[in-house]
Amino acid sequence: MKFRKVAYWRPMLNSSSAISTRYGANRSHDVNLRALRYFVAIADAGSLTAAAQAISIAQPALTRQLRELEQDLGVQLLQRTPRGVLLTQAGVTLYESAQRMLAEAALVRRQLASQPTVSGASVVLGVSPTLARVVLPGLLENFQRSRVDIQLRAREAFTPALLDWLERGMVDMAVVTNPDPGRMLALHALLGEPFALVSHRSRRIGPIVSIAQLARIPLFMTSLHRGIIERQLRPMRGKLDIQAEIDSVDSIREMVLRGSCATIMPVSVFKDRQSLRELAMSEISGVQLNRLLVLATRIDWRENPALPVVQEMLQAEFARLTRQGVFSLSAEPAAPDAAASDRAAESPKGRRPARARSVID
């Protein structure tokens, strides 16, 4: 006697650790993992008697479980013979799927058992002044929406200070620019971001500037960005006309908006609406000027179970901003992704309050 699967087999784990299935006459049933384990044990043992002994269950109880499973699914799974049992066509299909699902369930149990609790944990995140206004708003909003009970604190400083704070334990993780690989830290690359020459539109600087033209443009720059750009220009013998070195991103940005100076900075600093309306970003030809953004942690960072959670949310925020074009030279960033728009449109009425806490130093 042959059996044919006429619909489909589609497993879904629900809250009661059951499998929702459809078999036979398009009927929906719930099959729990215990029933699947019993069925696999019978198939492996080749008889109900041997299976009952292997899994320490009375044979009548095992027979009843098998009968209920067949009734639930609406198909015969086993053929009884004098020598034991044989799988039907439907039984073979269920056996292969059940093995996968049981293995996945076991993996989930191991992962959950090994996952330490993060309730009440605290993480101090360091970010540079060029990234604070770009990354922190979305990141902190995600924490407020999440149910993770983590206290997130953010501190702002340039890369040298952030690396020093990290080594001294003043921050737990930091997003830094072009860190020195000689430090005893764990480094995880996030993305590369181009630099651009940024000026007020009234200066009428074109969209592409050569290295020779760049040498004749007066600039205000931070010491960190000046060092990065000069190192990358050196092989081409490029020069910069630095009028002032100011380690304040906000001050330089304000002076550029006033038309008082031009600067070279990462493109994300000037992707807000006002900057896109009043300023021009020019690409410097003949050289690739960029910075590498890296997430730095101490070697023993896994001692804090909350750090992987923060890292995952931070990487998700960088991915969202990348999709919007915040870290590219394109003039206009893309529209926010649909998920972000939906979140923004949600009414706060009836929403469960988030338990995440955030503090900015």
Q: Is the pLDDT of residue 261 over 70?
A: yes
> In whole numbers, what is the pLDDT of the chain averaged over residues?
80
- Of the spans 38-42, 188-192, 214-218, which averages the highest pLDDT? 214-218
* Mean pLDDT within 333-341: 47
The domain ranges of the chain are 33-108, 122-189+293-324, 192-291
Beta bridge partners of 185: 298
- pLDDT tens per residue, range 27-48: 445 568 888 889 988 988 888 8
Question: Of 292, 158, 287, nearest to 230 (Cα)?
Answer: 287
- CA-CA distance, 84 to 49, in Å (whole number)? 9
DSSP 325-361: TTTSS-SSPPPPPHHHHHHHH--STTPPPP--EEEE-
Domain 192-291 has CATH 3.40.190.290: yes
Tell me the CB-side half-sphere exposure of residue 81, using CA atoms within 13 A: 11
- pLDDT tens per residue, range 296-330: 998 876 677 788 888 888 998 999 999 889 999 87
CATH topology (fold) of 33-108 = Arc Repressor Mutant, subunit A (1.10.10)
CATH number of 122-189+293-324: 3.40.190.10
Residue 95 φ then ψ, to 5°:
-60, -45
- pLDDT tens per residue, range 91-147: 899 988 888 888 878 766 765 565 555 666 889 999 999 999 999 999 988 888 876
Tokens at 103, concatenated: 């293995």
Question: Of 309, 351, 296, nearest to 150 (Cα)?
Answer: 309
Q: Comparing 33-108 with 192-291, is the CATH topology the same? A: no
| pLDDT value of residue 251 | 95
Residue 180 φ then ψ, to 5°:
-70, 120
* Mean pLDDT within 51-63: 86
- CA-CA distance, 306 to 152, in Å (whole number)? 10
What is the pTM assigned to this prediction? 0.60
Tokens at 317, concatenated: 């925020």
**What percentage of residues in the chain have a pLDDT greater than 90?**
43
